[in-house]
Amino acid sequence: MGKAITGQTKKNQFLNIFETFGRSFLLPVSVLPAAGILKGIGSAFTNENTMAMYPWMNNVALQFIMGMFNMLGSVAFDNLPVVFAVGVAVGLAKHEKGSAALSGLLGFLVLHNTLNFLLSASGKLVDTSAENASALIAKSMQTTVLGIQTMDLNVFGGIITGVIVYLVHKRAIKIQVPQVFGFFSGPRLVPILIIPVMAIVAVGFFFIWPLLQQGINVLSELILKSGYIGTFAYGVIERLLLPFGLHHGVNWPVRTTPLGGVFNIDGVDYAGTVNAYMAALGSNGAIDPMITRFSSGKFVMNMFGLAGAALAMYVTAKPKNKKIVGSLLLTAALTAFLTGITEPLEFTFLFIAPALYAIHALLAGVTLLVTNMLGAAFLTPTGHGLINFIIYGVLQGERTKWYLLPIIGVFCFAMYFFVFLFVIKKFNFKTPGREDDPSTIVLHGKDETRKKMGVETQKDLAANQAISKKLDLTTQAEALIAAHGGADNIEAVDACITRLRINVKDASVVDSEHIKRDLEALGFNQSGMQMQSIYGGRANQLKIEIQDMLGMGD
């Protein structure tokens, strides 16, 4: 029994570490949607093929503005390694985040300057004045980062720097130095220690990175060669990880590192699907569907597949409940269609009938597979809905094959509709509106379902705003502390984009029903000893308020 508990504890610790690591990507990648929109719009209006089709775009003022958009968007994508070095350090740090940010930048500069020194001293630094310098640099696995010629660590260099800075930062801020050196204690000690630590790390990289790079290249090749099977597997696994908050750990490595593939665009190698796609948008050539295989199908699923599932739930609802259920499902389906925000519908599958969510994951894999097989080539850094589809698909011209979306979408809608219709009826799943006891319609109807699904009609808006005024931020935070067993039971407080995450010592005292029913949570999930309450955009505000009340650092 003791071994089983120990094994479960280790499993939970591993999941928590994996989740924390994946969630640390949220800060650095938060700049990508805005940068991607600028890049997408700019490249759409400055692409030579597009201008040839629409001569009116050859306007000096328009080209100047769009060229600036393109440049501003490129700033983030061209400097992802340093963005990740700072962002991961800040995202992982629990206290003194300013010190972590400074140390992340300093550590990154030390790493690459040391590598430059070692390459130069060993005679391995490629001569950039040579006639075929670009080819030699690429062959030697070197690149230029922030003006420093160094080893090509790509985004991994930034991620590893961020993790090392966090580990040093975590310990250094608690070190007591002699009184005479008191000024250098705490957060000021971290950047001082980072200099020798990252210099040592650079020496290690100098010797082992070539071997690691070969391993990464092999893994990248395997992922690319996995072809359609890999596309299907990714679609299923990514959806299955979503409820546990672990999907970031697979999404962002694929999007920003060689694990997503290395693609040659106009003679230059780009690692990661997002980087490659942004480079492809600025090129005049065709776009390789393998770059977008983990993204194109998500547009289809969000915009059409989930709408089919929503219709199946509406059709199977009892007639007396259809008016209420219809407004909820329509709003949730439109939200997924327009913005790509799918949690209202997906968490309905999960909370009401978990088997439906597993079926949804399989259908998601099928959707990604078929979309990839047909050659669709549109991608977005985040948010797979109509708005981003127009920017990254339609505006980029026919080379993205954006016209495939509505065609595939019709079949995806039908697939989701008929599969969900059959399964709901066959197993009598109690999806919204199918309750036997009309008094329990509140689970799926006007109050709790709308909270759980995160949607509200205009008719409910005034009532919900009145409730929110009564339950202000401070009151809500105090109540959440109590609902999690009090301050003594809370170990850590964090938040991602939509979820408040509270780690507790004893999960049995957490009142999840009270949190959902009375404290306005849109949903609740437990992952090990971490309690996840869905609050949408309010999650981060609640995190800060609770941390202040408990005297915790951010």
Residue 370's pLDDT is 95
Q: In whole angstroms, what is the distance from residue 512 CA to residue 28 CA?
A: 31
Residue 272 vs residues 215, 488, 547: alpha-carbon distances, Å: 16, 43, 36
The DSSP secondary-structure symbol of 363 reads H
Residue 16's pLDDT is 56
Q: Which of 514, 552, 550, 512 is nearest to 530 (CA)?
A: 512
The C-alpha R_g of the chain, in whole angstroms, comes to 25
Within 10 A of 509 (CB to CB), how many other CB atoms are there? Answer: 12
Q: In whole angstroms, what is the distance from residue 37 CA to residue 70 CA?
A: 9
Q: In whole angstroms, what is the distance from residue 502 CA to residue 7 CA?
A: 22
Residue 454's pLDDT is 43
- Strands 262-265, 268-271: pairing is antiparallel
Query: Are the beta carbons of 24 and 97 closer than 8 angstroms?
Result: no
Q: In what order do the strands lie in the sheet with 530-534?
A: 490-495, 499-504, 530-534, 523-527
Q: What are phi and psi of 46, to 5 degrees?
A: -115, 0
The per-residue DSSP string of 325-337 comes to HHHHHHHHHHHHH
Helix (H) or strand (E) holding 540: helix 539-550
Q: What are phi and psi of 182, to 5 degrees?
A: -55, -30
459-504 pLDDT, tens per residue?
344 344 444 445 678 888 888 999 999 999 999 898 876 788 899 9
The single-letter code of the amino acid at 370 is: V
Range with top average pLDDT, 19-23, 82-86, 136-140: 82-86
- The residue whose two tokens read 């100047």 is 64
Residue 55's pLDDT is 78
Residue 481's pLDDT is 92
Q: What percent of the chain has pLDDT over 90?
A: 20
Report the largest interatomic distance among the alpha carbons of the chain, rounded to a whole angstrom.
80
Q: What average pLDDT does the segment 183-206 reach?
A: 86
Q: In whole angstroms, what is the distance from residue 377 CA to residue 181 CA?
A: 58
Identify the band that residue 317 occupies on the pLDDT scale cut at 50, 70 and 90: confident
Range with top average pLDDT, 115-124, 135-144, 347-356, 385-394: 115-124
The single-letter code of the amino acid at 45 is: F
Active-site amino acid positions: 496
230-288 pLDDT, tens per residue?
889 888 888 887 766 566 667 777 887 777 888 888 878 888 888 888 888 878 778 88
CA angle 527, 335, 22 (to 5 degrees): 35
Residue bearing the bigger pLDDT, 292 or 131: 292
Residue bearing the bigger pLDDT, 262 or 9: 262
Identify the band that residue 399 occupies on the pLDDT scale cut at 50, 70 and 90: confident
195-214 pLDDT, tens per residue?
999 999 999 989 988 888 77
Range with top average pLDDT, 13-22, 82-91, 493-502: 82-91
Residue bearing the bigger pLDDT, 357 or 203: 203
- pTM of the full structure: 0.60
Q: In whole angstroms, what is the distance from residue 293 CA to residue 279 CA?
A: 16
The single-letter code of the amino acid at 425 is: K
Average pLDDT of the chain, as a whole number: 79
Structural domains of the chain, with CATH = 79-225 (no CATH), 471-550 (3.30.1360.60)
Query: Are the beta carbons of 391 and 33 closer than 8 angstroms?
Result: no
Question: Does 99 score more than 80 pLDDT?
Answer: yes
